């Protein structure tokens, strides 16, 4: 079993004819993802990779081919409109890879999505993968193997590092999700933890946060009060100075809130096993399965 994407995913790629869109579409197709259509305004009627029809609008792709998931490789200036277009077309799940989307645009997008049934992952995220079923994003598919560890992260690079270490130990993943590192995103840690808790085949959750904001503390409250499944956590940015942004737009400590120490303390108090460095994550997970 998996969450959000799998064999029933019918993917439309917004921005498919651009360099990034076309490259990653090919990678997703080669992985086995069911890419049914692409969208680039003004290029309707063309074909991508010789087999994928291109439409002018998302609604046309939904009507013609029953697309239910969208991934966005549209430049930042048009990404918000692309998200809203997908929602208006009835797409249930939208993944926005684009980075640099203005925060004001995302405030408007979030307010609009709250009136729909569309779930957004991102922006500024690597996407998600259910190993052996579907890859919707830019993550390297070959490092993943099917299994029962769910992974949620703000950091794409750390996700890859941890997945590689888990796979090297023979520990597979149910679904791995990068939620994005911007201050305003569509799907939060708390949202994903609830999905993993409800997934019958996810037995353990890896949680990778970073400095900035209080989403990790909110997630810790849920872990403490609601989660029955074990959680292994790591917080990036443990040596970051206050007031300086580190990497992601959301990774900034301000007003004394959002420090790594606060987040690690909250997660430990919630019962999560907290790794001190990335290499320790896979060790802790392996130990929980008796493979230490």
CB-count exposure of residue 135 (10 Å: 0-12, 13-18, 19+):
buried
- Distances from the Cα of 201 to the Cα of 114, 149, 150, 204, 269, angstroms: 29, 9, 9, 9, 26
Helix (H) or strand (E) holding 244, with range, is none
Is 190 in contact with 227 (CB distance < 8 Å)? no
To which residue do tokens 């996407």 refer? Answer: 127
DSSP string over 167-207: HHTT--EEEEEE--SSSS-SS-HHHHHHHHHH-TT--EEEE
Question: Which of 24, 144, 204, 248 is the catalytic position?
Answer: 248
* Tokens describing residue 86: 């997908």
248 an active-site residue?
yes
What is the distance between the alpha carbons of residues 273 and 175, in angstroms, rounded to a whole number? Answer: 20
Catalytic residues: 248
């Amino acid at each position: 079993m998996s969450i959000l994407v799998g064999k029933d995913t019918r993917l439309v790629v917004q921005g498919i004819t651009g360099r990034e869109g076309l490259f990653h579409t090919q990678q997703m197709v080669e992985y086995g993802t069911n890419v049914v259509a692409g969208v680039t305004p003004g290029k309707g009627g063309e074909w991508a990779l010789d087999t994928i029809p291109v439409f002018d609008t998302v609604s046309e792709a939904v009507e013609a081919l029953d697309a239910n998931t969208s991934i966005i490789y549209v430049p930042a200036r048009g990404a918000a409109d692309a998200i809203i277009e997908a929602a208006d077309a009835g797409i249930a799940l939208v993944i926005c890879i684009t980075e640099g989307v203005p925060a004001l645009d995302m405030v408007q997008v979030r307010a609009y999505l709250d009136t729909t049934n569309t779930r957004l992952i991102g922006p500024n995220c690597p996407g998600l993968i259910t190993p052996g079923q579907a890859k919707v994003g830019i993550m390297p598919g070959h490092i993943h193997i099917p299994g029962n560890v769910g992974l949620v992260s703000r950091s794409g690079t750390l996700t890859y590092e941890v997945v590689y270490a888990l796979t090297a130990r023979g520990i597979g993943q149910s679904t791995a999700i990068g939620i994005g590192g911007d201050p305003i995103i569509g799907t939060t840690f708390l949202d994903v933890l609830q999905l993993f808790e409800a997934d019958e085949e996810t037995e353990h959750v890896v949680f990778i946060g970073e400095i900035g904001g209080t989403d990790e503390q909110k997630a810790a409250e849920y872990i403490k009060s609601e989660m029955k499944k074990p959680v292994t956590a790591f917080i990036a940015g443990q040596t970051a100075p206050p007031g300086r942004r580190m990497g992601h737009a959301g990774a900034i400590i301000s007003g004394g809130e959002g420090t790594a120490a606060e987040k690690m303390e909250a997660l430990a108090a919630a019962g999560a096993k907290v790794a001190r460095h990335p290499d320790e994550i896979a060790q802790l997970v392996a130990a929980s399965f008796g493979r230490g």
